[in-house]
Amino acid sequence: MEVEQLCYEEGAAKVFTISSHENLRSETISFEEVDAAILDARIGKEWNRDLGLRLMRKEIPFVFATGYDSSEPFFTAFPEIPIVGKPFVGRELVQALSAAIERTRTRSGDR
């Protein structure tokens, strides 16, 4: 809930919170509505690899906010995705996500 509130304070119009892979499978996520994402490396007992890969394919900027560090083998599939370690300061998360958004804009030429 703190991350959700932080997103609204930073100007987000709509925030989706998904707390389990079961909810993820049952949620209809329209990637056309997603401007950026904050993911944990795991939801429950499952690694969040599929959603991360889908976001990468769609060129949607995202960061991992997680208790895992970059030495975890999971992250080899996401070499350019920032990892913000838990516990984190809200400003740190906002800066990492802002940088990811800017990198994506720069790559796609949307300045």
Where helices occur in 10-89 by DSSP H, the ranges are 21-26, 49-57
Maximum pairwise Cα distance, the chain? 39
Query: Alpha-carbon distance 61 to 81, whole Å?
Result: 8
* The model's pTM: 0.82
Q: What is the CATH number of the domain that holds 62?
A: 3.40.50.2300
Residue 24: partners with Cβ closer than 8 Å, 6 or more residues away: 18, 43, 51
pLDDT tens profile 41-99: 998 888 989 888 988 988 989 999 999 999 999 999 999 999 999 988 888 988 999 99
CA 3 from centre of chain = 11
In a domain? residue 94: yes
Q: Residue 25 corresponds to which amino acid?
A: R
Range of the domain at 18: 2-106
In a domain? residue 111: no
